Amino acid sequence: MLLLTAIELSSVFIISLLFAYYLYYRYCFTYWKKRGAPQLTPTFPVGDLSTAAWGKESVYLRLQTLYHKFKDAGHKFGGIYFLNGPIYFPVHPDLIKRLLVTDFEHFVDRGMYIDEEKLPLTAHIFSMKGEQWKNVRMKFTPTFTSGKMKSMYNILVQVSQHLIKTLDPVAEQGLEVDIKELLMRYTTDIIGSTAFGVDCNSLDNPNTEFNRMVAMIFNNPSWKLYKMALEEGLQNPGNIIKIAHDNKVVQKYFNDLVRDTIEYRDKNNIVRDDFMNILMQMRSTGMEFKEIVAQAFLFFTAGFETSSSTMSNCIHELAHNQEIQDKLREEIHENLGRESSKYTYDDVLALPYLDKCVKETLRKYPPVAMLNRICVKPYKIPDTETVVEVNTPVIVSVLGLHRDPEYFPEPLEFDPERFSNSNKIAPFTYLPFGDGPRNCIGLRFGLMQTKLGLATLLNDFKFYPSPKSPRHLAVDPSTTTLVFSVLNGVHTKIVKV
């Protein structure tokens, strides 16, 4: 009888605790309403995440849905909740401009996870805060000029020629290929060489140790997301990058790789036109070894999947739009010739139709489909009484903007002419690289490897649709990275021109 009473008491206590927790959540869900901001109807316990919280829908698609709900209701912004955490959610281009540019001093930080002591790989420019970010950004800005890009260009040409040799046997037989997987190996070889000075040889051998590290960074199981959520919470979406950095094996591998590279170059007086050489030169400005490792790691992770995804997504669209593909190939042949090994940096970047095709790909499939910021100074939203408090995360739905029919009619159609000179794009509706002082510092490098890769491929090969990939590529709902990753690869049939 006493045992039964103890069980009953324990049950009452647990139920009471859960009910109190529920009431606390309901109280949290009044945060934006009390501040006079429009909000929707968040649900316990996931807030406005809905099915995205359980991996059944991509968080990017969920944010796109929320974008339209606020916009269609006539609101310029909204207040949303990730679990019980409030997030400022601007949807009107004017407010997005204020966030990124005009009122930047209120939103200097991205709000990304950073812990220099426990996870040194997180201490890179993407996650840095305040004055530390400003100082490092100032040092890095000269690193990504056109001149610096040209100095690395020959490395990209060599890897691009290797890509052609890898695809030749496949094209001779007219076979289908997962072009995304192949182009991920292509960008691995490029960035492995330019960032770390190593020959990854991924195109020939996808099972190298370097590739194994890549898989450990990007292919994380869902339980790691839940582990991170328990440790850090998901109220701040920027915490998600901890997953890719929280691996001691990866940490040791990249530490050893950078140390060996630097020691070898110092000992043998080797100077190479690459990103690692630039980082080594920054030692004279006080940059320490662990900072060099973190910046090189960022250069790799930021440029690896974003560029490969853009190339493979572009090829997918060109396969479904043969007239556009033929027009682009004609531009390449007429202006660059047939010997892709002789394509120059200036000539590739000067191709207007290639530029339009890449921009349209970035519009339909933005590699980073949301922008993160965090409030560092109290901010009164213009023309309202709502104040965004310090430490409140901010999200901009890039996918919502890019696929908004008001700004881009028939948004699922692939139309490079949207970016013709006669067609003016509304400011702050097209943000593939962000905007303002914290825009993507490596955009020149990303565009360089993307455009050269596409020009080289289209010079030699013709692409056709595969039934293995849907007409409009779907977002992988289980992704644990910030990159817009498509589900089940990008399959295409390839033949020689």
Cα 369 versus chain centre, distance: 7
The DSSP annotation for 382-431 comes to: TTSS-EEPTT-EEEEEHHHHHT-TTTSSSTTS--GGGGSTTSPPPTTS--
- For residues 401 and 430, is the Cβ–Cβ distance under 8 A? yes
Contacts of 71 (CB under 8 A, 6+ apart): 91, 92, 400, 404
440 labelled binding-site residue: yes
How many angstroms separate the CA atoms of 113 and 312, rounded?
Answer: 29
Tokens (6 digits) for 169? 């046997």
Tokens (6 digits) for 395? 């999200």
How many angstroms separate the CA atoms of 292 and 257, rounded?
Answer: 12
Question: Which of 167, 177, 164 minimizes the C-alpha distance to 491?
Answer: 177
How many angstroms separate the CA atoms of 164 and 183, rounded?
Answer: 11
- For residues 417 and 423, is the Cβ–Cβ distance under 8 A? yes
Beta bridge partners of 386: none
Cite the annotated binding site for heme by residue number.
440
Cite the annotated binding site by residue number.
440
